[in-house]
A and B are shown apart, each in its own frame.
Chain A
Amino acid sequence: MEGSRRNFLKLAGLSVLGLGAAPALTSASKAAAQTFDANPQALTGTHWAMVVDVSKCQDDCQDCINACHQGHNVPALPPDKQKNEIKWIWHEEFENAFPEKPIGYLPEKFHHKPFEVLCNHCDSPPCVRVCPTKATFKRKSDGIVLMDFHRCIGCRFCMAACPYGSRSFNWFEPRLYLDKTNPTYPTRTKGVVEKCNFCAEQLAVGNLPLCVRACKQGALVFGDLDDPNSDVRKILNEKSAIRRKAELGTGPNIFYVI
């Protein structure tokens, strides 16, 4: 009796080991088989940035916002839920985009001019610093601050940390408020944070960001700060630009030419 019990335990132990090892082995072989090559057309840079030429922006135009929000399945919440809205790129007036008012006696034509605001893809992003799961991270290759929607636990620490209000939380099931779904970009579920991803998925297939392509006035210019011949560097070499809350040391990468 004693012997048979011991044998049974041995057998049971071995089979548990086997069960544990089997998926590990199969997944290891799968990982070895699946390798992905980067798209040769992909836009590559090491320090992506954007210049917003505010004077070119048209007052009632929503093209960049629509292109971004439709392309990324950003839901449009009904008017009674506006305090819970989700925004990747949106308009603010000067005094809200720059509450510390770095320009005194701002020319009158800019008083009610829309200022495009979006994630600044900071050099030193506070949101990444506070995230307890690394669900939001700064991509080493090009500096884009990205989100892993599947890892986010929805603690919203990043929203408290972001000094630009660039992060949105899915307070409700977002798919209920999507008229059309773009099948090439994932939708989200309730309970996770999201924000502008500098169109990482577009860059990967060789396209400029959706907002940049949508702007007929050419008010949005995208490029690599590390490349002295890039469009953004050319503009910054000619015109002075201001950045939002640069004094906080976050190193914002959206430049505003006024």
Chain B
Amino acid sequence: MLEKAIFGSKKFYAWMTFLGLLIGIGMVAYLYQLYYGLGTTGMSRDVSWGLYIAQLTFLVGVAASAVMLVMPYYLHHYKDFGRIVILGEFLAIPTLIMCMTFVLVDLGKPFRLLNIFRYPTPNSILFWDVMVLQGYLILNLIIGWITLQSERQSVAPPRWVRPLIYLSIPWAVSIHTVTAFLYAGLPGRGYWLTAIMAPRFLSSAFAAGPSLLIILAMFVRRFTNFDPGARAIQTLAKIVTYAIIINIFFFFLEVFTVFYSGIPSHMLHFQYLFFGLHGHGAYIPFMWASLLMGLAAVVVLLYQNVRPNEKVLVVGCILVFLATWIDKGLGMMNGGFVPSPLEHVTEYIPTLPEILIAIGIYAVGFTILTALYKIAISVKEELRA
């Protein structure tokens, strides 16, 4: 099936060349970072994680959201997802690869990466995060590939994939829970030290991932002969609606506990993000935009659920995606590290090389995504013909 990822239309080649260019630029920027050190990023003594680890956090969520297709289809036999479940599994694969690449470029000594395996340390959550991310990648590779191959040959998937599929359901929850545990167990970081971190992560993931899938499904329908089905898209829309409402609800639960208790070490981070602290507030407009877009998305999606309209749905999905990306991709790190445990305010602004590297990694993801989707869609087109 792999050959289907290589041959395509002129548009396909142009797109892949464009992505290749972005990857090239990102690699040059990475060589620069490798040579001069991570000081080429905006990170500092006080804000020691930035854009890279934030993207890891966001993308783990997108990967985990494949379960929102797998569970209804395989566990509840919801037939409408039959055609697009592969799109969810094939979205998880590139996002997981992006996650691992973001960890790699964040390391000060990337050549020592294998020390994680040479000296396995079960008390470190990072060790477990690497383990569960790899496991989920392998699961999705096997499940996606085998089920697609069976579909191509018009036979039922072999029986031995079933247990793997069922295993992938709790595994999806585990990858985002473990990622939340990276933060939620650190004693000196009030913004992160909350039991609702994992639920907040999961709810934002199940909003962001399926909304991206809806956009991708519509894109696929428009540019290929494969139709994922309007009903499947509407069911996904319901999932997005519930998830974003729960996500905003969880956010306000956190806001209540933080501000009603009035404990400064928890409150100052929210103050910095939403109102500014000691005259610093680079992220105030982003955080308010995120909150307002999230609320607007709820209104748009609820309206869409009453009067289904795919144009309105796209607007809702874009709002959800942007709102959750800002919340996790910008707010998580800056809120966690600012102010520092000594209550100094050091602001973090990503630098150009850092942004180029991040774009390069996203381009890697999109290249793999394009190749995988092309394979899946070619198989489906073949079957229809």
Contact = CB atoms under 8 A, between A and B. Distances in A.
B39 A172 contact: yes
A135 to B, nearest CB: 7
B107 to A, nearest CB: 5
A59 interface: no
B225 interface: no
Interface residues of B, number: 45
B124 A245 contact: no
B43 interface: yes
B108 A154 contact: yes
Contacts of B107: 153-155, 191
Contacts of A95: 343
B45 A85 contact: yes
A134 B126 CA distance: 12
B223 interface: no
B48 interface: yes
Interface in B15-58: 36-39, 43-46, 48-49
Interface string A146-165: 00000111111101111111
Interface string A24-66: 0000000000000000000000000000000000000000000
B341 interface: yes
A106 to B, nearest CB: 16
Interface stretch (A2-10, A125-133, A232-240): A125-133
Interface string B112-146: 11011011010111110010000000000000000
A202 B46 CA distance: 29
Contact of A161 (B103, B116, B118, B186): B186
A131 B121 contact: yes
B240 to A, nearest CB: 31
A159 B108 CA distance: 13
A155 B44 contact: no
A70 B378 CA distance: 65
Contacts of B36: 172-173, 190
A102 to B, nearest CB: 13
B45 A83 contact: yes
A58 to B, nearest CB: 22
Contact of A97 (B109, B340, B342): B342
Contacts of B77: none
B106 to A, nearest CB: 7
Contacts of B183: 160
Given A163-B188, A164-B188, A169-B38, A152 B49 contact: no
A245 B46 CA distance: 18
A99 B39 contact: no
A245 B193 CA distance: 15
B315 to A, nearest CB: 37
Interface string A70-105: 000000000001011111000010011101100000
Contacts of B123: 129-130
A215 interface: no
Interface residues of A, number: 49
A168 interface: yes
Contacts of B115: 132-133, 135, 151, 153
Contacts, number: 147
Contacts of B182: 157
A170 B44 CA distance: 10
A92 B113 CA distance: 35
A163 B127 contact: no
Contacts of B163: none
Contacts of A86: 45
A157 B124 contact: yes
Contacts of A172: 36-37, 39
B344 interface: yes
Nearest to B108: A154
B344 A171 contact: no
A21 interface: no
A132 to B, nearest CB: 4
B341 A156 contact: no
Contact of A173 (B37, B44, B130, B336): B37
Nearest to A95: B343
B189 interface: yes
Query: Residue among A130, A160, A191 with the most chain B CB within 10 A?
Result: A160
Interface string B212-232: 000000000000000000000
Interface in B164-201: 182-183, 186-189
A151 B126 CA distance: 16
Given A163-B187, A191-B38, A192-B108, A133 B116 contact: yes
A19 interface: no
Given A99-B341, A131-B121, A169-B38, A152 B109 contact: yes
B340 A153 contact: no
Nearest to A129: B123
A187 interface: no
A169 B126 contact: no
Contact of B121 (A97, A133, A154, A169): A133
A99 B174 CA distance: 35
A153 B127 CA distance: 12
Q: A-B pairs with the 5 shortest C-beta distances?
A: A154-B108, A163-B188, A191-B108, A171-B39, A83-B44
Given A83-B45, A130-B125, A151-B115, 14 more contacts: A99-B341, A100-B265, A131-B124, A132-B115, A132-B126, A132-B130, A134-B119, A154-B107, A154-B108, A160-B189, A169-B45, A169-B108, A171-B39, A190-B36
Interface of B: 36-39, 43-46, 48-49, 103, 106-110, 112-113, 115-116, 118-119, 121, 123-127, 130, 182-183, 186-189, 264-265, 336-337, 340-344, 346
Interface of A: 81, 83-87, 92, 95-97, 99-100, 117, 126, 129-135, 151-157, 159-165, 168-173, 190-193, 245, 248-250
7 contacts: A84-B39, A100-B265, A126-B188, A131-B124, A151-B115, A164-B188, A165-B340
